[in-house]
Chains A and B, each alone.
Chain A
Amino acid sequence: GQNIDQPTEMTATEGAIVQINCTYQTSGFNGLFWYQQHAGEAPTFLSYNVLDGLEEKGRFSSFLSRSKGYSYLLLKELQMKDSASYLCAVDSSYNTDKLIFGTGTRLQVFP
């Protein structure tokens, strides 16, 4: 079956660093996406990993280990506006980009 697991909720304080983990078991793997989603809005693209290793983009970094079926999103210098849900999604198809989403991690940033 297809399974993507993330913690349901996390909290952190402004200025801190937080790591959101994602483990996956899918029938295929063509890349892994991280999206940010504010309440009532559409997901917005954060990162894409297809090879093992760390991808850094400003305050956000994403890591992938394909052999372990594991990824994490690292958020540095947290800001209040980072309070949102973070969705891990696996592109499991080589023919079309059918994304399988985890249920998301709701991050609450406190002052």
Chain B
Amino acid sequence: DAMVIQNPRYQVTQFGKPVTLSCSQTLNHNVMYWYQQKSSQAPKLLFHYYDKDFNNEADTPDNFQSRRPNTSFCFLDIRSPGLGDAAMYLCATSRVGGTDRTFPYGYTFGSGTRLTVV
């Protein structure tokens, strides 16, 4: 019944080796977000897609890219992971323009991917 699915749950990558994290949703939400959460810190928004429109946060490093090939899927690409990129990466979705903001119609998180860089 999971509605926002992130794969894999745990990812280990080598320093400098490109890695892709994936997110899929069955909610038909029009907006998808990627957050980075480091240990004991708040989730930090990296970017979001409003339909097909990509919106980057001003302080998101160029090392991070994203793709949304269709409504259901969104990918986070880290071109050259550094040790400082080790974190939990959270995908979230929402339906902007909807009137019901309560779960699951509003903001919904996936289970996250924990990235380790070795």
Contacts and interface: CB of A to CB of B under 8 A. Distances in A.
B112 A42 contact: yes
A102 B45 CA distance: 12
Contacts of A97: 31, 33, 94, 96, 106-107
Main secondary structure of the interface of A (DSSP, over half): loop
A89 to B, nearest CB: 8
A72 to B, nearest CB: 18
A43 B101 contact: no
B41 A103 contact: yes
A48 B94 contact: no
A63 interface: no
Given A42-B109, A96-B31, A97-B107, A48 B45 contact: no
- Contact residues on B (Cβ < 8 Å of other chain), bracket: 20 to 34
Contact of A99 (B45, B96, B103): B45
Contacts of A45: 102-104, 106-109
A87 interface: yes
Contacts of A40: 88, 114
A100 B90 CA distance: 14
Interface in B3-49: 31, 33, 40-45, 48
Contacts of B48: 96, 98
Contact of A41 (B50, B92, B103, B112): B112
A42 B90 contact: yes
Given A98-B48, A99-B45, A102-B42, A43 B96 contact: no
Interface in A17-69: 31, 33, 35, 40-45, 48, 50
Given A42-B111, A87-B42, A96 B50 contact: yes
Interface string B43-76: 1110010100001000000000000000000000
A103 B102 CA distance: 22
Nearest to B43: A101
